[in-house]
Amino acid sequence: MDSIKPTQIVSDLVQMGAYKSALSVKNILIRGFLSGALLGFSTVLAFITANQTGIAMLGALTFPVGFVMIILLGLELVTGNFATVPMAVMNRQTTLKNLFYNWTLAFVGNLLGSVFFGAMYYICITKCGHSYDAPVVKKIISVATEKTIVYKELGVTGTIVCFTKAMLCNWMVTLGVVMGLVSSSTIGKIAAIWLPIFTFFALSLEHCVVNMFVIPTAIMLDAPISVSDWWLWNQIPATIGNIFGGFFFTGLLLYLTHNKKPA
């Protein structure tokens, strides 16, 4: 049996959070960069799959490939760290200062990787700006508009919707990190990780790192979205919602129910 008990999983999550909070600037930025790029790859893959098959659910089924690679390679995804590093703080294995150190650098690394991949993909899909006819171009613009301009038109209500969808999103995403520890086998890890990540993408929720790819790439593709639209109507509320969802629903609640108390 390669299944690992919940109490051991939480203990491993605490140690993971402590380890991540002590990484060097170089390692957090490099691993964060790679994570942002990998999520960009998997987002494009999901969009293309949905377009070519006409079945959105199949796109959601393909999306977790990037997240699986991130977990198996031990990279830095800030949304996952919104759960694991606070668990280490609660267990007194690290400090609040180190928490914000990790979150800030991981966020920057994810942003750099996402925008870099977006720029590279722009070159590929538009032939350096000569053609915007590919179906995936229209898909990226449509999704990015839904994530920004639609919220902007709703005003405060749009911000509430974005925040709520982000909170629910990172409940699932951080469970993806948890599920990566439920098995000692690679196949077991992959199968377990797939479940919550497929769920969040199928429900069209708000993931701040995925949005770091989708929205700036849409801007490069001449979508009617400004940089202020991106940050004010999506990136900021989505990030705050991701923090709350990851910390409260996964980090805090699992810690409270499964953390081993000292004898």
pLDDT tens-digit map of 81-126: 999 999 999 999 999 999 999 999 999 999 999 999 999 999 999 9
User: Where residue 262 falls among pLDDT bands split at 50, 70, 90?
Assistant: low
Percent of the chain at pLDDT > 90 equals 97
Domains assigned to the chain? 6-124+136-256 (1.20.1080.10)
Q: Model confidence over 14-69: pLDDT tens digits?
A: 999 999 999 999 999 999 999 999 999 999 999 999 999 999 999 999 999 999 99
Give the 3-state DSSP-derived string for 166-228, with helices as H, strands as E and coil as C. Answer: HHHHHHHHHHHHHHCCCECCHHHHHHHHHHHHHHHHHCCCCCHHHHHHHHHHHHHCCCCCCHH
Confidence of residue 263 (pLDDT cuts 50, 70, 90): very low
Q: Where are the alpha helices (DSSP H) in 22-77?
A: 25-53, 56-62, 64-72
What's the whole-model pTM score?
0.96
- pLDDT at position 261 is 73
